[in-house]
Amino acid sequence: MQRKSTYRKLLFFLLFVNVIALVFFTYKELDDSIPNNIRLMVGKDGSFNFNLPVEADFDGDNVGVISVNNKRVPTNQIKLDFNKPFTLNSSEKAKYKISLKLFGIINFKQIELGVMDSMELMPSGSPIGIYVETDGVMVLGTGVISAADGLNYEPAINKLKSGDYIISADGESIENKDDLIRAIQNSNGKDLKITVRRDSKNIDYMITPVKTPNNEYKIGAWIRDNTQGIGTMTFVTEQGEFGALGHGITDVDTSLIMQIQRGFVYSAEIMTIIKGRQGAPGELIGLINQSEQYKIGKIDKNTNQGIFGTINGNYKSSSEKGFLPVGLKQDVKIGPATILSCIDNEVKEYDIEIEKIDVNSSSPNKGMVISITDPELLQLTGGIVQGMSGSPIIQNNKIIGAVTHVFIQDSTKGYGTFIENMIYNLQEE
């Protein structure tokens, strides 16, 4: 009898666990099926078909500029049934909050509708040389100093942190390494007030420079004030703005997005191709023509979706595509697509396959899984290699994204970001 009771309790427990698991995975599947943000372009219809038992209410004071299924709806009366196909259109650039309810009753989640300026883009695929200077001097880490007295000191330990930006010393602005070295030497070993920017806040520390055996003063900090590399131009707008890389410029030591004061893009030539293989991503090795006549643009922003700025008169487009319409997230389909990339100093279109679409990826520049299917590109590079980041992705004659990462264990596959993410960062003030 006792055994039956124990067995019955075990069955109820297993049933309970199964029900909880079913609810959890059903909820997660629903959550993954609806983007956390939906984007439109001003004056352009966005078509959606979620086929889910969800209803939506708009929050905001200016939703009168939104039309649903080609009908203007009075303010605060917009309701969407996600169980049926619908279209949205906005006559103005704006942001809205949309509250979702499961079966029209249970609060589900809140998503954002962002309306961007309408535009067409010229896809590029050209290699570019990138040079940026940090906004302040970036701290990579701290270390030990062997002093003139024969002892070891760590004056910056527990004060400066990896990822800090030194912006002033004793009230004097610090723009580069030379400024900081000069301030440290001029201190003559007296306490120096170092101001750093950390997580958008300014913090002061008193640090005492240490005299070394060769009569120099140091504070025991590894620093960097610039970086450079090779990447790919993704697009140019009709207004002369550009987007490139599809991901941010990160510091090689800290892996943090670099905060930049200024930067430039230059024309570049691909000199050598290192083919990718399992466990070892390949690389495009290029020559940056870093002189004024080859400077083709200025970098204004470094974001997790790429670098953005303006081109100048030295830029010459190598694209034969001309300006293409933008394909937003809802337009992207699993199946064939192409990329534009310059491998042998000529921009060509190569075949790829979009294998997976993740509208709610935790990493914004990993919204698509792509695989290289073009025999020529596979022969040349083995798939995706470093330096191809930013290569525009085209599907159904629309620019829909950019290549961002390669899979370490399979160089034929990698990630792409949605082009709407790059445009959103470009237009964001």
| Catalytic sites, residue numbers | 247, 374, 389
Between CA 82 and CA 26 the distance in angstroms is 16
* CA–CA dist 147, 217 (Å, integer): 9
SS3 394: strand
H or E segment to which residue 17 belongs: helix 2-33
Nearest Cα to Cα of residue 174 among 217, 206, 133, 135: 135
- ∠ CA 338-340-344, rounded to 5°: 125
Quote the DSSP letter at residue 384: -
Selection from 78, 415, 34 nearest residue 245 by Cα? 415
Q: Yes or no: say if 196 and 159 are a contact pair by the CB < 8 Å rule.
A: no
Closest to 353 (Cα-Cα) out of 366, 338, 365: 338
- Cβ pair 370, 377 in contact under 8 A: no
Per DSSP, the residues of 136-159 read: EEEEEEE--EE-TTS-EE-TTTTT
Residue ranges of alpha helices (H) inside 106-233 are: 177-186
- Residue 296 class from Cβ within 10 Å (0-12 exposed, 13-18 middle, 19+ buried)? buried
Nearest to 335 by CA among 376, 418, 411, 395: 395
**Residue 287 to residues 33, 58, 230, 270, 351, Cα–Cα distance (Å):** 44, 52, 8, 6, 27
Q: How far apart are CA 324 and CA 48, in angstroms?
A: 22
Q: Residue 269: helix, strand or coil by DSSP?
A: strand
Q: What is the DSSP letter of 326?
A: B
Q: Provide the 8-state DSSP code for 258.
A: P
